[in-house]
């Protein structure tokens, strides 16, 4: 009888410890700077992932919100920005909407290659950055 009670208390303690270690809520929004892309040719900081939403359990994903640092880019001359992930177009921005690319969904532990294309209004300049590797 004592063994059953001891075993039961041990199971309850382990279960309580397991629950206490799950302190993050599902779909919790975190404000982190995970990634800064820096164009080595011009020295321009191009984009960052500045907030992340993580899902846990069976819905394990990361959502990152990209934005262009307009401090270094003349947006009056910029026609379009295109974000590529692993060679495929992931998002496209036009004038008036240079703040966010919207969300990208990633699997934790996966590696992705991101490139950014800057297209000027007079088409005199199109820049495709070197791939930036991000390990989520």
Over residues 21-57, the pLDDT tens digits come to 444 444 444 444 445 555 555 545 555 554 555 555 5
Residue 91 scores a pLDDT above 70: yes
Full-model pTM: 0.51
- Mean pLDDT across 68-73: 61
- What gap in Å lies between CA 67 and CA 94, rounded to an integer? 13
* Comparison of pLDDT for 70 and 94, the residue scoring more: 94
Whether 95 and 120 have beta carbons less than 8 Å apart is answered as: no
User: Where are the domains positioned within the chain?
Assistant: 25-135
- Report which of 28, 73, 30 is spatially closest to residue 51, judged by C-alpha positions: 30
Residue 127 scores a pLDDT above 80: no
Whether 100 and 117 have beta carbons less than 8 Å apart is answered as: no
Enter the DSSP assignment of 131. Answer: P
Residue 111 scores a pLDDT above 70: yes
Pick the CATH number of 25-135 from 2.60.40, 2.40.128, 1.10.30, 1.10.510: 2.60.40
Beta strands 44-55; 35-39: pairing state: antiparallel
Residue 19's φ and ψ, nearest 5 degrees, are -65, -35
- What gap in Å lies between CA 68 and CA 49, rounded to an integer? 10
């Amino acid at each position: 009888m004592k063994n059953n009670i001891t075993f039961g208390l041990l199971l309850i303690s382990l279960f309580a410890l397991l629950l206490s270690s799950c302190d993050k809520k599902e779909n919790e929004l975190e404000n982190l700077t995970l990634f800064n892309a820096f164009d080595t040719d011009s020295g321009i900081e191009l984009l960052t992932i500045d907030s992340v939403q993580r899902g846990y359990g069976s819905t394990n994903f990361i959502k990152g919100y990209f934005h262009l640092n307009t401090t270094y880019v003349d947006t009056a001359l910029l026609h379009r920005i295109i974000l590529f992930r692993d060679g495929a177009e992931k998002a496209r921005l036009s004038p008036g909407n240079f703040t966010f690319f919207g969300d990208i969904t990633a699997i934790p532990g996966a590696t992705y290659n991101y490139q950014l294309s800057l297209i000027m209004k007079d088409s005199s300049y199109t820049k495709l950055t070197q791939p930036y590797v991000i390990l989520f």
